[in-house]
Amino acid sequence: MGFLDAILGRTKPKQANLDSLFLVPGAAITLETTLGLRPTGDGSVCYRAASGLAFSQVQQEILDLVRSTGEAPDVQVVQDGYGFTWVEVDREPGAEVEGLCTALHAVNTSLEGQGFGPGLLCTLIGFEDGDGRRVGLVYLYKQGTFYPFAPATGGGEQRDNLLELQVRDALAGELPIEQDLSRWLAVWGAPGL
């Protein structure tokens, strides 16, 4: 940050650290041992899609890249009810979470590398316990932090705030957790959750 930026009060936005996604396998062990939450094998990357042939080609290249990995997960592009685009990666339940994190990292870095980084919003990795409670561990691209999102069981658009706080507390020493609760946005209908 330069002298003029300091005087005018301008700050540089925090840079995403996509390598933080590789911290999730260790966090998954903590979630399983402390709260009984296991990875579902599902995850997704949310972004604002650009229009045009170049973006369509990049998107297809990403799908081909993820499908070509050794485990060949099911991968597709879906649009949610709010107009956001998601690349959804589905692996077998019980599959190693490392492979899922690698695939999600590849999606993010491919979009970023082709100049579409400003459109990246978040990455979600799904977890579930034996009672059917689901939690999405959400990585905020622009903040470089994680937060838990837990829809309440029983339907509707209600959150299980207690479970979210339990996940936050369990992972506080393992992941960069978003401290500003106003950024813990609901991702209703997110693929992979």
Q: Tell me the pLDDT tens digit for each residue of 169-182.
A: 999 999 999 999 99
Phi, psi of 148 (to 5 degrees): -90, 140
How many angstroms separate the CA atoms of 142 and 14, rounded?
7
**Cβ neighbours of residue 147 closer than 8 Å, sequence gap 6 or more:** 138, 140, 164, 168, 177, 178, 183, 184
Under the banding of pLDDT at 50, 70 and 90, the label for residue 163 is: very high
What is the model's pTM? 0.88
User: Taking 90 as the threshold, does the pLDDT of residue 9 lie above it?
Assistant: no
Q: What is the pLDDT of residue 2?
A: 62
**Cβ neighbours of residue 119 closer than 8 Å, sequence gap 6 or more:** 47, 48, 49, 50, 111
Q: What is the pLDDT of residue 53?
A: 84
